[in-house]
Every structure is written in C-alpha cells, then in structure tokens.
Structure 1
Amino acid sequence: MSSYLELTARERLASLFDEGSFEEFLPPSARVVSPHLGQLDAPVAFDDGVAVGRALLKGQPVFCAAQEGGFMGGAVGEVHGAKLTGLLRRAVIEKAHAVVLLAESGGVRLHEANAGLIAVSEVMRALLDARAAGIPVIALVGGSNGCFGGMGIIARCANAVVMSEEARLAMSGPEVIETASGVEEFDSRDRALVWRTTGGKHRYLMGDCQAIVADQVHAFRDAAVAAIAHSRAAGVELSLAALEAEQELLDQRIARFGGCADPLDAWRALGIPDPDAIPMMEAAAFADLAAAHKLGVAR
C-alpha cells in the first residue's frame, strides 16, 4: 500500500483518481511560470508548483489540483494561485461533480508577497462561488510540508477536510509563531509539540477536519468519496446558519480550552482517559476512541 506522504503531486493524482483519467490543464509543456521568480534569479517550475485538471473518482467527473511540496514547499504565488482560481471557476462552468484539492503548502511565497496574498483571496472567493453553485470542495491534507498560511485558510473554506495523522494544518507555521512570540511561546524544534498542536489528531478532536485516515492513498480516496457524498447530502453552500454554528464552536473552544498550555491538557479536558497514548495510536484505533467518547466531528 503506497504512502500518500511520500508521493509527489503528480504521483498522488495518478494514484488517487481512476487509472489514466487525469487530464491536466496548463501542463509543464505550456511553460506558464512565475514572472516574479525570474526577476529575482530564483528557480522556476514550468507548472509553478501545482498541477490542475480533471479526472474521474470512482467514475464521477471531478476537478482536482495537487500542490508540489518539492517546489518552494508548495507556496502560493501569482501564477500558482491563478491556476487554482481558474480550476474552480471552470468547475462551475462545466458543472463538475466535485473539486478535490490535494493541499501541501507552507503558505504564500515571500518572493511574491502581495501578489501571493491577492492570489489566495481570489482562490477563496472562487472556492465559495463553487460551493454556491452546488459543487462540493474537499481538501486532502497529508504532505510533509503541511497546510499553512493562506492555504490553511482555503482548506478550512472547503466543505470537508481530510487529514492523516502525519499531516499538519494551521494558519501560522511553528517557525512563524516562534519568530513572532518567542521560543517560550512555541518551540518549533519540538517536533512532538508541533504535531500535537497542528497534526491531524488534534485537528480532528477540535473539529477542524472531518475525517482522519491512515497514510495510504486508498484511505484518502475512500475518504474523499465519502466526504463528497456527505457534503451533497448535507448541503454544499456555506450558509449564514453554518457560519453562526462555526462561530459558536469557536466561542466554546476558547471558553473550554483557552487556559490549556498544551494539546495534552485539551485532550484531558475532553475526558480522554489516557491522552499521552494518543500520539502513538494508529489512525483507525484513534478514530474508534474518538467515536467512543463522542469527540471530534461526532460531538
């Protein structure tokens, strides 16, 4: 069984979707590259670090994108973001069954700061427009670079987020927090702390992702199919009621866990009998534990 974490963007696309079905828009042969990187004598990629196109997922036509963590950590620049925006807009025009985003990104490129930030806002608008058109958007997070910054926000705008326990999801990366607030606030070199705080298990328990799976391509595929079906049944568009419910969840989280200095404290507050054992649990056993205690998405 192949590890999702270890695959490149195109390997994930080839493995996750029906065999031979991926059709790429603006492939590397089109040589659409960032104009900013070249001006700075920085290396460029002929796909600008993201592959976008259409494919079949269990026979259903979906639009998909996969960020390449091996190029600038999957960071978003002007062209990179424009490809994601164009994909989402085309999905609306062609009435796609769903959009699946294989997210792996450290955030916005510092080389293209303003252009990258604008690109992220355009992707967010296009994603919400897709949902308004009745097209579910599912974010899969399982790459070694995590999903941070602007892409972290984009992922949370999706109908559902699927993560592996190795994945990470946050607004600010560990190094950013440490730089801004000091190592006493967050030690980015403490890998156990980083994964406890931003990893898939904590995000699931806090309700930030809707499914946690093992680091296997087939597990992500099955979870994506299930998330699309659930989103269609539950309603795709982001409503005012859903936003108010999300705000209420955040208010409750602050009231309940605001004084916790470590995720372990939050897990204890949730009533988990042995929180120290969670980091070493397999995904299936962890999901069973969460279900037994009615934690995470089920609560």
Structure 2
Amino acid sequence: MISYAECSARERLAQVLDAGSFHEWLPPAERLTSRHLAQLGVPSSFDDGVAIGRATLGGVDVFVAAQEGAFMGGGVGEVHGAKLVGLLRRALRDRPAAVLLLAESGGVRLHEANAGLIAVSEVMRAVLDVRSAGVPVITLIGGVNGCFGGMGIVARCTDHIVMSDVGRLAMSGPEVIEASHGVEEFDSRDRALVWRTTGGKHRWLTGDCDVLVEDDVAAFRQAALDAIGAAKPVTLDALEREHALLSARQRMLPPADEGGDDAIALWTRLGIPGAERVPEMDVTAVRALRPE
C-alpha cells in the first residue's frame, strides 16, 4: 500500500493514472510563474503549484489536474487558477471521459487575494459548464493540507468527491476560524476536533463525499475508475434537494451548550450507532454506518 497523503502531486498522477500516460501541458520547462509572487520577493514554482494535462485511466481519455501541497499549501493564485480554468475549457471542447481534480489546497493565496478569488470563481463556473456538457468532474481529496477555502467550494461543485479518512474538506480551515473567532470557537491544535469536524469520516457520514477510501493510491485509482461515466446532471431539482438536506441537517443539531457544536452530536442525531467511537473505527466499519 502506498500512502496517497505522503505522495507529491506528480507521484499521485503516476500512481492513479495509467502508467506512462500523463502528458503535461505547461510543464515546469515553460517556466510559467506568478508575477505577483515575483514582485513581492516570494519564491516561485515553475508550474505555480499545479500540474495539468491529459492521460488515460483504465484505457479511456481523461483530463487531470493535481495541486502540489508542498508549494504554498496548494494555494490558488492567478496563474494556478488560469491553468485549472484552461484545462476545464479544453475539456468542453474535447469531451474526455472525465476530468479529475487531485485537490490539495488551503484556499486562495493571501499574496494574490483578489486575483486568486477571481480565479476560483472562474474555476467554479468552468466546472459547472463541463458538468452541464455531460463530462463528469471527479475530485480526489487525501493530501496533508486538505481541501479548504475556494477549492473546498470547487470540490462541492463537482460530480463526485472521493476522500480518504485522513483527508479534510471544509470552507474555512481550522487556523482561519481560530484567527477570526478565537481559540474558544475552534482550537486548530486539537487534531481530534479538526478531523471530527472536517475529516473524511465526517464527510462520509453526512453525505458530503461519495466514496470513503483508505489512504492508499490504489484505492483512489479504483474509486476514480468507478466514477467515470457516472455524471450527475446539474438540475434545479438536484439543487433544491441539496438545500433541503442542508436545512434538515441544521435543524438536527442540538444547542451549542448541549454539545451541538461537535460532530459527535450530529452523528448521534443522524442515528449513527456508537457515534462516540467513530474516530477510532477503521474505514470499512465507518462505511457501513452511513444511513441509506
């Protein structure tokens, strides 16, 4: 078993895709870097923290992007976002079997705040355009940095989300919540709390991800293979069902002074047996707990 979390972006591409099939567009040799980082004297990366290109998965053509968490936490800036948008727009033209987003990002780079925010909005629009064209967009989340901020929103705009139990997904990251609302609201150093609130097990039990896998590149590959060809139409009915689900979930929470601000309280209300034991359970046991 090879840990997905411990792999770099390109190592994940090599392990998840068919061997030797990845053809990178705008590789590091092109030296396409962020002008904003250069102006601020911040070290750049020749691929701006994301690898994009075409490959095959199970013998069928796919487009793929992999964010590099080791460079600025996978943060989205102008060039990084433009590469993602370009990939998705080309998918509209060429119609691959699927688009894979190997997401690992803390969100928008503070160094390029406005440019990054605009880029994320363009990525979301492009994802929905690709989905509307019938091409499934599949997000894989299992990196050390998780998938937060704008990329957390992007992930929830896609057809399928595959997460490992060590993966994390949310809008605001733990450090951001603590910085803006204080440690009393959310202690980012409490690892158990962080994973209960944003981790793969929680997202699986609440229906926010479609597949929960082990921290294993082979498991991610198989989940991606299974999702190809299973596009979910973007419809008003689907959106209204999602809103109804979120409203019901909010009503389900007990008051904060009764533990309603902890995931365990929600799991209990969802009817999960032995909810307090979920953090210690293995992936197979947790997969069996989700209500149908």
- TM-score, L = length of structure 1: 0.94
For 1:45 and 1:261, the matched residues in 2 are separated by 39
Moved more, 119-128 or 179-188: 179-188
CA deviation string 1:59-95 (max 9, x = no partner): 1100000000000000000000000000000011111
For 2:168 and 2:237, the matched residues in 1 are separated by 28
State the partner residue of 1:125: 125
* Matched ranges for 1:185-204 at <5 A: 185-204=185-204
1:45 counterpart letter in structure 2: S
Are 2:75 and 1:79 aligned?
Answer: no
**Could you say what the CA RMSD is over the residues aligned between the two structures, in angstroms?**
1.0
What is the CA distance between 1:237 and its match in structure 2? Answer: 3.0
- Does the 8 Å contact 2:204/2:287 carry over to 1? no
For 1:228 and 1:247, the matched residues in 2 are separated by 26
State the partner residue of 1:244: 240
For 1:239 and 1:261, the matched residues in 2 are separated by 32
* Matched ranges for 1:1-299 at <5 A: 1-229=1-229, 231-232=230-231, 236-257=232-253, 259=255, 260-290=260-290, 294=291, 299=292
Matched pairs, number: 288
CA deviation string 1:168-191 (max 9, x = no partner): 000000111111111111111111
For 2:88 and 2:13, the matched residues in 1 are separated by 17
CA deviation string 1:198-244 (max 9, x = no partner): 00011111111111000001101111111223x23xxx331111100
CA deviation string 1:228-266 (max 9, x = no partner): 23x23xxx3311111001000111011112631211111
For 1:175 and 1:106, the matched residues in 2 are separated by 10
For 1:258 and 1:129, the matched residues in 2 are separated by 38
Q: Specify the SS of the correspondent of 1:144.
A: coil
Unpaired runs of 5+ in structure 2?
Answer: none
What is the CA distance between 1:289 and its match in structure 2? Answer: 2.8
What is the CA distance between 1:282 and its match in structure 2? Answer: 1.4
For 1:76 and 1:258, the matched residues in 2 are separated by 36
For 2:29 and 2:128, the matched residues in 1 are separated by 30
For 1:71 and 1:148, the matched residues in 2 are separated by 15
What is the CA distance between 1:272 and its match in structure 2? Answer: 2.2
For 2:50 and 2:85, the matched residues in 1 are separated by 12
For 1:152 and 1:186, the matched residues in 2 are separated by 18
2:134 counterpart letter in structure 1: G
- TM-score, L = length of structure 2: 0.97
% identical equivalent positions: 63
CA deviation string 1:261-294 (max 9, x = no partner): 211111111222212221121111211233xxx2
